[in-house]
A and B are shown apart, each in its own frame.
Chain A
Amino acid sequence: MDLLLDGFATALTPSNLLFAVVGVLLGTAVGVLPGIGPAMTVALLLPVTYSVPADSALIMFAGIYYGGMYGGSTTSILLNTPGESSSVITALEGNKMAKNGRAAQALATAAIGSFVAGTIGTVLLIVLAPTVGPLVVQLGAPSYFAIMLLALFAVTVVLGASKLRGFIALFLGLAIGLVGMTSGQPRMTFGFAELSDGIEIVVVAVAIFALGEALWVAAHLRRKPLEIIPVGQPWMSKADWGRSWKPWLRGTAFGFPFGALPAGGAEVPTFLSYVTERRLSKHPEEFGKGAIEGVAGPEAANNASAAGTLLPMLALGLPTTATAAVILVAFESYGLQPGPQFMAQNEALVWALLASLFVANTLLLVLNLPLAPVWAKLLQIPRPYLYAGILFFATLGAYAAGTSSFDLGLLLVLGVLGFAMRRFGVPVLPLIIGVILGPRLEEQLSEALEISRGDYGTLVGEPVAIAAYVVMAALLVGLVVARVRSSRSTTPTSVTEKDEVNA
């Protein structure tokens, strides 16, 4: 408790409060803006880590993470264009509500539901983090190796429609992670001295999330303006409150555990929440025509999963969403390595971050309810400026990472790769996680083998490691079963069925 109060003391200093406000506003703005998401924003803001203190920067990034979730739901409701995969479900009922003249209520239930879920999620995080911390410290290298393998495998297999493309992304990421000096000799450096320290992760993150995305969108710009539904101040009637509060709580219950799992993400819990609310609703006839429960539940699930994501990230150094991956890059540019030792060694920082999540969440509610009409105005920014701005800041961020034009060339090459990945439907998340975890995977394996004097049997010598391999095997079996079942039906293309994913 004292630690948490210390955390609040850090989070509530005027300058950190300012960073939180900036983060929340920026996060919401980019969530609303077309073509920019929270992962890209954090990637573009990585240069601030060069001089801003670690706690301030992380507080700002937490604000961006939560704010981006909220901003994404605003456009889902007002425009029916979910920017993030996590707000696809919100658009189903949210946009229908808006079309029926209930935009204000949809925005209100989304905002308040996000607040409720984010707060409960953060409480859970605060309760669980100290319990998980001592446990993970005891993990040996073989266990840690197995858990990382599991995370890589799960992220690749569970998310996305095409497993083949998931693995392509993962191994491209691992290949990028190979670059650099190892045992005193250059590996994969193509003879460039600049590559002997490895490829700067900041450059990879900016290239894949910002440059690749901007090029992709620029080459496929929508021309006809979308019809926006005018909106005033969000508010809810008593009846709306009565119909919202249970979905908020159920959504939170779905969101947090899925966020905390190695292959978390928000897609599955938001979908589950939607299905549950439709089943439990007293107004099932309204579903598909604008039922408030269908906005309240998924929005809560969405934010609770964002909170849940932070648990494996802080405790194990495992990022499970794109934004978490980029935030992890920020940790690394401070020389901080989230993982088993991290929480014990950086107690003050972790608690400041947790406290700042409360602050960010509250700010989000206070700022966003009155600001909704302002956010809607952002959609009128001309695209040329928007995308020229992204290219400008991407270049700046990559140059600042190493102050060499070599990095800019690298940025361009990887940006074109990011474009190609989007063209060929290759997901970007496994790539960036492969880049981050690849070197650590090698490090842990090397350490495990060193201790066992080269005996590979050590890899299955710890119970946690065995458990991780069993889960991986189960996932693999589930995958094969799903394949066989779907190839028996006459539609060979429907490989992913939500129910099978959850099995």
Chain B
Amino acid sequence: MIRVTVNGVTSEHAVEPRLLLTDFLRHHLGLTGTHVGCEQGVCGACTVILNGDSVRACLCLVVQADGGEIETVEGLGTVDNLNPLQKAFQEHHALQCGFCTPGMLMTGVDLLRKYPLATDAEIREGLSGNLCRCTGYVHVVQAIRSVVQAEKNGS
């Protein structure tokens, strides 16, 4: 049995030792917002936050997350009430097909929590583990920059 807390909800599950965290989230919990792009830890589409750090859910067995706290895209904001980062992505057209977007958002959340992101170069470096094939990243950088700016103005 494993015990995990996902987006604030704790539950226990009997799982196979080889079950990936991605498959657990998607198929056992029905949280299909976390996407699988490569299963090799390269593309970053499956990025979630585990115990406060962004991780590749495709490289993580769910048993490794036993006792842990997981945040996924479903925990950010809803369709009717997007959070500030999600709103910034919409305002700046930082997504096209939307497949890499949940991973981009979770990496973005992690970056915004941990780093000052004073320059665009820092944002770009932070995003360098998340591949996007549609946007050319320009609007993604702008969206994150706008949230940094808004947080600065707000504080």
**Is the pairing of A and B real?**
no
Residues of B within 8 A of A (CB): none
Residues of A within 8 A of B (CB): none
